[in-house]
Amino acid sequence: MSTDGLGRREFLAATTAAGLSLTIGARAQENPAGGDLNVAFIGVGSQGRILMTSACNIPGLRFKAVCDIWTYSQKYAKGRLRAKGHDVNVYEDYRDMLANEPDLDAVIIATPDFMHAEHTIACLEAGLHVYCEKEMSNSLEKARHMVEAKQRTGKLLQIGHQRRSNPRYIHAIDRLLLKDHLAGRVTHANAQWNRAKSEDEGWSPRTEIPVETLAKYGYESMHQFRNWRWYKKYSGGPVVDLGSHQIDIFSWVFQNNPKSVIASGGRDFYTSHEWYDNVMAIFEYDSPEGTARAFYQVLTTTSCGGFYEQFMGVDATLVISEVPSRGNHFLKEKHVEQSEKQALWDRLAQEGHIIPPAPEVTEDKQTDDIYVDTRVSKELGAWTLPIELLKPAHQPHLENFFNAIRYGTELTCPAEIGYETAVAVLRVNEAVEANTRLEYNPEEFTV
Amino acid sequence: MRSLAFAVCFVVCAVYAEDELHSTGSRTRAVHRIELRDDLGDPIKQGYARVEPFSTKTTCGRCHDYDVVSGGWHFNASTTELDSGRPGEPWVLVDDKTGTVLPLSYRDWDGAWNPDDIGVTPWKFTQLFGRHMPGGDTGERTDVIDPDARWHVSGTLEVNCLACHNVSPEQDQSEYAKQVARENFRWAATASDGHAFVDNMALRLPDSYSRFDAPNSDNDWAAPPTVSYDAGFMNVKNKAFFDVRKRSSANRCYFCHSQSFDEAAEAPPSDVHLASGMTCTDCHTNELNHAIDRAYEGPASCEGCHLGSEDKLPGAYGAPVPKHKGLPEVHFEALTCTACHSGVKPRAKTDLVKTSRANRLGIHGKARWVMDSPQIETPIYLPGFDGKLAPHHVLWPSFWAVKTNDGVKPLLPEAVLPYISQDVNTLDEQAIETTLKTLASELSEDVLYVRDGQCWTLSNGSLSKQADSELAKPCAWPIAHDVRPAAQSLGSTGCDDCHSKDAPFFYGTAGPENAARYTWQQLDPGEIGALEKSVRMRPAMRILYGLAAILLAIVIIRYGFIAVEHLVLGALGRNGRKVK
């Protein structure tokens, strides 16, 4: 397939629609121009292990080193990588790793947010390409320094908003929402991440990090080290931790950054934590088609509804989630059937870009017995997205990063985009604290 | 050699150390009220936020040397270089969808494939067979590089001391098997001992799971296993009572060593030894090193107890000394004791036997666990390790394989399944040819198929069948149990039990081709016929021998008198006067 005249996203969308995008990485890596890459991990806690599991599926990567301050995680990672055929050196301090591993090409960073800048900047300046987990930082100043370091060194910096590389999201947003305008003008968005109440992360006394080591790396206690996401010193709390994935998508769909946010939240359940355990926020956007508003909530005491994003247009609503069972379809408005837009839906269905609902099986009943409440609109028909991601959710994003190193393909979430999202998301906590509507200055989003 | 000597010294020292530590000379059983510890060695206490399953390695191992125990026969198949001994029952990899029946053993036994050679890693082996393993062995082989292994999620399957030594009727190996199926290896011993409830499945956890992670609050389906100990199981000092004893009861052995026959089979209702009050470990003894005496030779064998040995008088455990009155000596030279005394009585066609480990007996639950495959025939009398005919269980392997530089490598079911398009049980030769061609094309290898004692290959693009392929030969292992008493043994109703026309012992059929048993015994039918005739002639011969004996006696008496007369007359002189 020729990609002439197609933008990156169009190309991706087109190929995913044909079920081809899932093999892009594999095919590209067969290209002899792309050699093997030497890779290290900094931070192999719960998120680092998820990235490690996905990265191990990608051919052509040689894992050389692992860095973590917890010996339990060091052993865990070394053992897992050994089982996958990689013999890695283990370090506690990233500086030792950078000094002793001269052959590295890239590093994957999954440390607590407050350390991202230090780790990322050091690696970039050591000449390495960096994949850094979101949030870029819990401090905008640090995040800005990361972008500056990336621009200064000319190395790649991919931020871990992995939905940006998910072929389902690319197809639904770039192709169907933005190119084909399948949903018409998108006026509202609604997203949530609700998770059940949970216990704190634990450890065994035998695996406890010595107090002096914790202090050396900036932690006050083992509990804070294991539960850093709940503490202001280390993280931005749930709305940053979880919300940034989805608020990032708002900007993608509305093709603009928010212009204001109003939010409410509080530390109402977990008395031993610092960050807000529930937050509700409303953003306002100037989209190319007019004003749009987006509601977002993160709750940590109920899993009701789980996590998903909805983009509501006048003709249809896109319901999508990283877990397809929670959202993988467009809900078409009834009026579309009587308009010329129905032809677009039919064409896209015919071309395999969307799957129409199965015909209803109606039983031959006597109409006398059927009561229709005309005050309630008929349920919208669900048109399913045709793409299935057969890989772990983070793998395409990592593939995108490594393909960018090898072949110069474009990153789907470079540092600049990650920074824009950080600006949007970190302001939510400020809005909760200020208990008022806060405006964004468009210049804030650029470095 | 030095390392072997060191190992022996280590074991001996450890055994003596154990004895010194615990033996007071009293016959009173030690009460095991002990502190539970998890696999990291941390104590398990009531009310702790992190409730872990107990570890036998750190709980039992505090007093009993775990390393010594785990070198025992039940736990050393994949790691030992000791003599494999007489063949035993292999593990059987069964997959009905691909028609795979593959006997496996780490021991060097004829007919069984070494799991290492065919891509069955210790992780895979434990997944497949951990249900009927007493733990240890492959369940702890985390050192083997295997990308699919999930030890970090499942934990290891430690030696489960309680599986054999727990006297409590609550010990539930069926629950153990269920936990293994859920990949809850680390939790299996705790779940099965009857004092705890284990929920959830390690099987559902992602590869990135770590034991210290809080439960995934986004996905309660993939919840990590949890343990709830029964109230009262631990006392105020957090010590728990285990009703354990050194000598295991037969009930504990049965879970892995049961066998079941069709109702029509002439199986003894019980092993005569158990009926007389003995238990398995009376003969299959061991010390702390758990080097179980397999008892097919030596002091604990049939001969050892019933006939005595150099250093042991006969009659151990009241074993009667057999008379075998009238039984020609050749029987003792050609047959094992078990040939006449063990297993089901031979019938015109071999019986099918299900065994715990091959057919998954003893696992109870909503799902059906018992499998009809593999089909194991019994008894077939084959020459054993000592050349004597012994009753065997026999199965015929079935598998798809690729030819390699070193020979042949059977394919595991998951490698074949994508290319199987119909029920393998009804595959005719045309379907076999089609499937072989597909496999050859997809795998770019020379392939073959083994089933029912036959081996099919592709030769110049067309199917070729080989009946005498070594690959297709059956896998057989001698049996000893159940032992029938003398009154129910072969020959107890007379020589005709075996030496008669159509006697099942020689003329019954076995195997996929229904070959007569004498062919498996490697005997000449002519010789067997001559034996039968001799047996049939035996009454007449007895009369003949009797008459001959009488005649001989008459002759002896007649000439005896003459001789006596001559002697007397010689002494007295011809005229009757005493010679001076």
The pLDDT score that the predictor gives to residue A347 is 97
Which of A240, A244, A207, A233 has its CA nearest to residue A222?
A207
The amino acid present at A136, given as its one-letter code, is: M
CB contact under 8 A, B217 and A203: no
The pLDDT score that the predictor gives to residue B179 is 97
Choose the mutation target among B40, B218, B220 for the interface with A, i.e. most A CBs under 10 Å: B218
Structure-token pair, residue A378: 């008929």
Answer yes or no: are the C-beta atoms of B168 and B193 closer than 8 Å.
yes
Nearest-neighbour CA in chain B from A288: distance (Å): 35
Measured in degrees and rounded to the nearest 5, phi and psi for residue B483 equal -90, 130
Q: Are strands A129-132 and A157-159 parallel, antiparallel or unpaired?
A: parallel
From start to end of A27-136, where are the E strands? 37-42, 61-67, 89-91, 106-109, 129-132
**What distances in angstroms separate CA B563 from CA B11, B328, B568, B572, one per listed residue?**
74, 37, 9, 14
Q: Please say if the pLDDT value at position B11 is more than 50.
A: no
A269–chain B Cβ distance below 8 A for any pair:
no
- Interval A76-132: pLDDT, tens: 999 999 999 999 999 999 999 999 999 999 999 999 999 999 999 999 999 999 999
**Which uninterrupted H or E stretch holds B331?**
helix B330-334
Cβ neighbours for B190, distance < 8 A, ≥ 6 positions apart: B53, B54, B196, B198, B227
Q: Whole-angstrom Cα distance, residue B100 to residue B414? A: 10
Cα within 13 Å of Cα(A24), Cβ side: 31
Q: Are strands B259-261 and B376-383 parallel, antiparallel or unpaired?
A: unpaired
- Interval B495-548: pLDDT, tens: 889 998 889 999 999 999 899 999 999 999 898 888 888 888 877 888 888 899
Answer yes or no: are the C-beta atoms of A108 and A136 closer than 8 Å.
no
Structure-token pair, residue B290: 């758990």
Answer yes or no: are the C-beta atoms of A5 and A167 closer than 8 Å.
no
Q: Whole-angstrom Cα distance, residue A285 to residue A294? A: 8
The pLDDT score that the predictor gives to residue B576 is 54
Q: Are strands B226-229 and B239-242 parallel, antiparallel or unpaired?
A: unpaired
Average pLDDT rounded to a whole number, residues B134-146 = 95
Q: Which of B30-34, B93-97, B162-166, B568-572 has the lowest mean pLDDT?
A: B568-572
A85–chain B Cβ distance below 8 A for any pair:
yes
DSSP-assigned beta bridge partners for residue A297 = A192, A280
The amino acid present at A302, given as its one-letter code, is: T
Of B49, B149, B217, the CB nearest to A83: B149
Block means of pLDDT (10 residues each) for chain A, 447 residues, are 36 40 35 76 97 96 98 96 94 98 97 98 98 97 98 98 98 98 98 94 92 97 97 97 97 98 96 95 97 98 96 98 95 93 96 88 52 57 92 97 96 98 98 96 95
Enumerate residues 6 to 45 of chain B having a beta carbon within 8 A of any beta carbon in chain A.
Answer: 40-42
CB contact under 8 A, A307 and B220: no
The angle, 0 to 180 degrees and rounded to 10, between the axes of the packed helices A71-83 and A46-55 is 10
Cβ-Cβ pairs closer than 8 A, A with B, add up to 69
**Which uninterrupted H or E stretch holds B185?**
helix B185-192
The amino acid present at B119, given as its one-letter code, is: G
ipTM: 0.82
A375–chain B Cβ distance below 8 A for any pair:
no
CB contact under 8 A, B145 and A198: no
Which of B135, B127, B128, B172 has its CA nearest to residue B153?
B127
CB contact under 8 A, B213 and A306: no
CB contact under 8 A, B208 and A46: yes
The pLDDT score that the predictor gives to residue B395 is 96
Cβ-based neighbour number of residue B321 at 10 Å: 11
A130–chain B Cβ distance below 8 A for any pair:
no
Confidence of residue B424 (pLDDT cuts 50, 70, 90): confident
The pLDDT score that the predictor gives to residue A443 is 96
Of B41, B209, B218, the CB nearest to A206: B41
CB contact under 8 A, B214 and A199: yes
- CA angle at A164 for the pair A162 and A169, rounded to the nearest 5°: 110
B546–chain A Cβ distance below 8 A for any pair:
no
Structure-token pair, residue B129: 């067979």
Average pLDDT rounded to a whole number, residues B170-186 = 97
Helix (H, G, I), strand (E, B) or coil at B97: coil
The pLDDT score that the predictor gives to residue B88 is 95
Closest Cα in chain A to B52: A204
The dihedral of CA B427, B428, B434, B438: what is its sign? positive
Choose the mutation target among B209, B210, B211, B219 for the interface with A, i.e. most A CBs under 10 Å: B210
Answer yes or no: are the C-beta atoms of A48 and A72 closer than 8 Å.
no
The pLDDT score that the predictor gives to residue B310 is 76
Answer yes or no: are the C-beta atoms of A310 and A317 closer than 8 Å.
yes
Whole-model pTM: value is 0.85
The pLDDT score that the predictor gives to residue B190 is 97
Q: Whole-angstrom Cα distance, residue B285 to residue B116? A: 30
Closest Cα in chain B to A84: B147
Of A83, A200, A206, the CB nearest to B145: A83
- Residues in chain A within 8 Å Cβ distance of B210: 46, 49, 72-73, 76
**Which uninterrupted H or E stretch holds A293?**
strand A290-299
The angle, 0 to 180 degrees and rounded to 10, between the axes of the packed helices B525-536 and B538-572 is 60
Average pLDDT rounded to a whole number, residues B297-321 = 86
Cβ-based neighbour number of residue B46 at 10 Å: 13
Q: Which residue has the tokens 């990308």?
A: B147
Q: Whole-angstrom Cα distance, residue A428 to residue B559? A: 132
- Please provide the size of chain B in residues: 580
R_g of chain A, CA atoms, integer Å = 23
The pLDDT score that the predictor gives to residue A158 is 98
Cβ neighbours for A290, distance < 8 A, ≥ 6 positions apart: A185, A187
**What distances in angstroms separate CA B519 from CA A431, B381, B486, B508, B524, one per listed residue?**
90, 10, 27, 10, 8
R_g of chain B, CA atoms, integer Å = 31
Helix (H, G, I), strand (E, B) or coil at B565: helix
Answer yes or no: are the C-beta atoms of B395 and B406 closer than 8 Å.
no
The pLDDT score that the predictor gives to residue B46 is 80
The pLDDT score that the predictor gives to residue A19 is 39
Q: Whole-angstrom Cα distance, residue A305 to residue B311? A: 77
Choose the mutation target among B212, B216, B226 for the interface with A, i.e. most A CBs under 10 Å: B212
- Interval B342-397: pLDDT, tens: 999 999 999 999 999 999 999 988 777 888 899 999 999 999 888 999 999 999 99
Q: Report chain B's mean pLDDT, rounded to a whole number.
A: 89
SS (H, E, C) B428-488: CHHHHHHHHHHHHHHHCCCEEEEECCEEEEEECCEEEEECCCHHHCCEEEECCCCECCHHH
CB contact under 8 A, B208 and A52: yes
Structure-token pair, residue A140: 């905008």
